[in-house]
Amino acid sequence: MAGFWTGAAALATAGRRGRRWPKLLMRSVALWTVKHVPHYSRRYLVVSRTLCSAGYDSNEKTFDKILIANRGEIACRVIKTCKKMGIKTVAIHSDVDASSVHVKMADEAVCVGPAPTSKSYLNMNAIMDAVRSTRAQAVHPGYGFLSENKEFAKRLAAEDVIFIGPDTHAIQAMGDKIESKLLAKKAKVNTIPGFDGVVKDADEAVRIAREIGYPVMIKASAGGGGKGMRIAWDDEETRDGFRFSSQEAASSFGDDRLLIEKFIDNPRHIEIQVLGDKHGNALWLNERECSIQRRNQKVVEEAPSIFLDSETRRAMGEQAVALAKAVNYSSAGTVEFLVDSKKNFYFLEMNTRLQVEHPVTECITGLDLVQEMIRVAKGYPLRHKQADIPINGWAVECRVYAEDPYKSFGLPSVGRLSQYEEPIHLPGVRVDSGIQPGSDISIYYDPMISKLITYGSDRTEALKRMEDALDSYVIRGVTHNIALLREVIINSRFIEGDINTKFLSDVYPDGFKGHPLTETERNQFLAVASSLFVASQLRAQHFQDHESSRVPIVKPQVASWELSVKLHDEIHTVVVSSSGPTFSHEPQKLLHSYMVEVDGSKLNVTSTWNLASPLLSVNVDGTQRTIQCLSREAGGNMSIQFLGTVYKVRILTKLAAELNKFMLEKAAEDTSSILRSPMPGVVVAISVKPGDLVAEGQEICVIEAMKMQNSMTAGKTGKVKSVHCKAGDTVGEGDLLVELE
């Protein structure tokens, strides 16, 4: 499990505003100073490799033991703060999670059931038994699962166990989108026009949608995290949206109630972090920009927002605090807003829990939000005033998923992590994860691998560090979305701040295709790939102990290699010449340079060519690139991750290329008459049977993956020949579902 961002800065200040303490020199930790830490917390806010927080006062007694009712990265995140505070921890886990990282990190662990969430992480009876058997004094729910379940909070309270979150009144009021909207109006918070009651059926949904005016947003009343949400632009989409949203809501939250409101087209999604205590105090901890989304789930977040000015920020913060105070909110929570192009903002929902993206707020404020939640739950007042909350630097978070970004911007991928290395050796990088080499990504849980966070003095530095971190992130064994994440953060619209919740579909209307290489980048890639090929050929010819070999071998002296390189169905002639070894500035590293001629351009490529390393730093005519060679085959096929995207090339010598012309190509499968599962998941429903006539685009079946339901449709008009699955079946990516005649 990786720590916080490395080699970063710390915040410090004196008790009186405007007066600073002298800087301290600490081994391995750089200290910065910033104003606004209140008199009663005169301590340095140390940002280290472990966590960023206002230092913990060991004399401030909280809890002896906390049970974390969650799994994965958020469970690990909570355990880290508990360890810092001297609190023992209890992990719960399903049977398939028995060897998970969060289980190993905790002091105790209790199995609460089999893999399905309904039988384990949502199994209140089993979790309550775990609380009793371990004598935990408090429970931290993380996010998702039971984090916003008022019944769970009530059951804990009935047994004098502290729920580390708001009280049941706030959970109920803010967890129900209908009630929260009414409370927001009463608290004078800007709200979106819509229907404030529960939608009974599809017919009523259509009637309400027509009254509001299309487009509308259909969403689960008790939902969150993009589950149970659909946008409808007409009556048919409203009926389909009602069906899918209610099913997803029932599956994810055990509550199928829906509401409908006006869909604000092209908005930004900006949220305010709030923090309240049990003494009537509440703060807003600045905003997070979360507009880059797919299927209503966030992909890239940052703090602060490049769009807000100080006046709008303050207005949003004050309204968020007003809403929190209206329900006597006590804990960390988030008020989400939609913001239009004119900076008008509308209340969306309040999440009465810790958010996935909370690390970016921690980076710019210096607060440890988990620590603050624990303090508040124990009854301590907040240590800070509103004027004490800084915006120091810039932070960006990318959600790294086990997903195929080339399918609907990310359909789940499952598998075992055969190799996994986090880029925490780079400055300003933090990785929150709950996995390790050998961990399994299964169909039962969210496919998130980690949260990758970078921090800098400004947005430019934070984004550059994110670019480097993504290039240096080694993930093997599952498909991941790093290519998409990297493209987003280097996109000119994103860099300029011209973003909204439709960013991905606007920028990639035909779907994500990977990084489009410029001519210069293409030549650089071909030069690097060719040099890598030559380096591997030379290594294959090398004998470690030539003198002791039984058969003397005379090595051919090759001055240059003429290669045929196929990339994107185009064949390039590349000539590689060795320039010989040179010594680097780093001890024990021998650099080797190649002069490469690509389509008339000459490039100098230098590296250590350590083919055993998953990462390879290569200098191409003065430009430093970090690449990953994912595979090399004897037939000349190579897969190389370059600028985030994996490119497949075939490199052959001149002779091998001439002989390859006589090889037969494998015929591609005709997929027009078959339907295969695009992702691993569970078949929820089958809409056809053999003999049925189907039209192009007609629903064939519904696949649920990671609690999201996806409608599979016919690719052409025809008659159903055979059905190879039934409701309840577990299917893998590429499995045959239905055949047409």
Residue 142 counted as domain residue: yes
Give the pLDDT of residue 586: 54
- Indicate if 569 and 691 belong to the same structural domain: no
Q: What angle do CA 514, 518, 523 make, to 5 degrees?
A: 105
Give the pLDDT of residue 225: 57
- Indicate if 523 and 646 belong to the same structural domain: yes
Say how far apart CA 421 and CA 424 lie, in whole Å: 9
Give the pLDDT of residue 549: 53
Q: How many Å is the Cα radius of gyration of the chain?
A: 28
Give the pLDDT of residue 162: 98
- Indicate if 630 and 689 belong to the same structural domain: no
pLDDT band at 2 (very low <50, low <70, confident <90, very high): very low
- Indicate if 596 and 653 belong to the same structural domain: yes
- Indicate if 534 and 634 belong to the same structural domain: yes
Domain CATH code at residue 229: 3.30.1490.20
Domain CATH code at residue 78: 3.40.50.20
- Indicate if 76 and 156 belong to the same structural domain: yes
pLDDT band at 305 (very low <50, low <70, confident <90, very high): very high
What Cα–Cα distance (Å) separates residue 531 from each residue in 577, 593, 600, 646? 9, 9, 16, 17
pLDDT digits (tens, 9 = 90+) for 595-614: 999 988 999 999 999 988 99
- Label residue 32 exposed, middle or buried (CB < 10 Å: 0-12, 13-18, 19+): middle
Tokens of 260: 């409908």
Say how far apart CA 351 and CA 361 lie, in whole Å: 15
The answer to whether 625 and 528 are in contact (CB under 8 A) is yes
pLDDT of residue 209 exceeding 90, the answer is yes
Residue in 349, 357, 597, 704 annotated catalytic: 349
Q: 466 phi and psi, to 5 degrees? A: -65, -40
- Residue scoring higher pLDDT (345 or 219): 345
Give the pLDDT of residue 30: 30
pLDDT digits (tens, 9 = 90+) for 314-348: 999 999 999 999 999 999 999 999 998 889 999 99
Domain CATH code at residue 696: 2.40.50.100
Q: Where are the alpha helices (DSSP H) in 301-402?
A: 310-326, 358-365, 369-378
Residue 178 counted as domain residue: no
Say how far apart CA 726 and CA 652 lie, in whole Å: 47
User: How many domains does the chain divide into?
Assistant: 5
**Residue 349 falls in the annotated catalytic set:** yes
- Indicate if 614 and 721 belong to the same structural domain: no
Say how far apart CA 694 and CA 104 lie, in whole Å: 51
pLDDT band at 550 (very low <50, low <70, confident <90, very high): low
For residue 225, the enclosing domain spans: 196-262
Residue 310 counted as domain residue: no
The alpha carbon torsion through 643, 649, 653, 654 (nearest 10 deg) reads -110
Task: Count the Cβ atoms, other than its own, within 10 Å of residue 408.
Answer: 16
Mean pLDDT across the chain, nearest whole number?
Answer: 87
Q: Which of 394, 376, 365 is nearest to 285 (CA)?
A: 365
Helical (H) or strand (E) element with 578? strand 570-583
pLDDT digits (tens, 9 = 90+) for 72-93: 999 999 999 999 999 999 999 9
CB burial of 515-528 (b: ≥16 within 10 Å; e: otherwise) equals: bebeeebbbbbbbb
Residue 107 counted as domain residue: yes
Residue 177 counted as domain residue: no
Give the pLDDT of residue 545: 44
Enumerate the β-bridge partners of residue 711.
702
Amino acid letter for position 724: H
Task: Please give the DSSP secondary-structure letter assigned to residue 305.
Answer: -
| Domain boundary residue, one of 636, 661, 686 | 661
- Residue scoring higher pLDDT (435 or 671): 435
- Indicate if 487 and 612 belong to the same structural domain: no
Say how far apart CA 113 and CA 125 lie, in whole Å: 10
Residue 627 counted as domain residue: yes
Q: Which of 472, 483, 389 is nearest to 428 (CA)?
A: 472
- Indicate if 613 and 530 belong to the same structural domain: yes
User: Among the listed ranges 101-105, 124-128, 474-478, 660-664, which one has the minimum average pLDDT value?
Assistant: 660-664
| Domain boundary residue, one of 661, 685, 705 | 661
User: Among the listed ranges 149-153, 409-413, 665-669, which one has the minimum average pLDDT value?
Assistant: 665-669
Residue 383 counted as domain residue: no
Domain CATH code at residue 609: 3.30.700.30
The answer to whether 330 and 167 are in contact (CB under 8 A) is yes
Give the pLDDT of residue 539: 80
User: Among the listed ranges 59-68, 141-150, 435-444, 534-543, which one has the minimum average pLDDT value?
Assistant: 534-543
pLDDT of residue 680 exceeding 90, the answer is no
Distance of CA 244 to the CA centre of its chain: 24
Contacts of 538 by beta carbon, 8 Å cutoff, 6+ apart: none
| Domain boundary residue, one of 164, 182, 206 | 164
DSSP-derived secondary structure for 117-139:
GGGTTT-HHHHHHHHHHHT-SEE
- Indicate if 620 and 641 belong to the same structural domain: yes
pLDDT digits (tens, 9 = 90+) for 246-280: 888 777 777 778 889 888 878 999 999 999 999 99
The answer to whether 62 and 378 are in contact (CB under 8 A) is yes
Tokens of 515: 């990084």
3-state secondary structure of 373: helix
Q: Treating both helix axes as pointing N-terminal to C-terminal, what angle do 124-134 and 150-158 enclose, rounded to 10 degrees?
A: 30
- Indicate if 157 and 257 belong to the same structural domain: no
Residue 580 counted as domain residue: yes
Q: Is 293 left (phi over 0), alpha (psi -120 to 50) or beta?
A: beta
Q: Treating both helix axes as pointing N-terminal to C-terminal, what angle do 168-175 and 177-186 enclose, rounded to 10 degrees?
A: 100
pLDDT digits (tens, 9 = 90+) for 468-483: 999 999 999 999 999 9
- Indicate if 655 and 692 belong to the same structural domain: no
Which of 233-247, 637-651, 667-681, 700-714 is predicted most confidently?
637-651
Contacts of 480 by beta carbon, 8 Å cutoff, 6+ apart: 400, 401, 402, 403, 413, 449
pLDDT band at 542 (very low <50, low <70, confident <90, very high): low
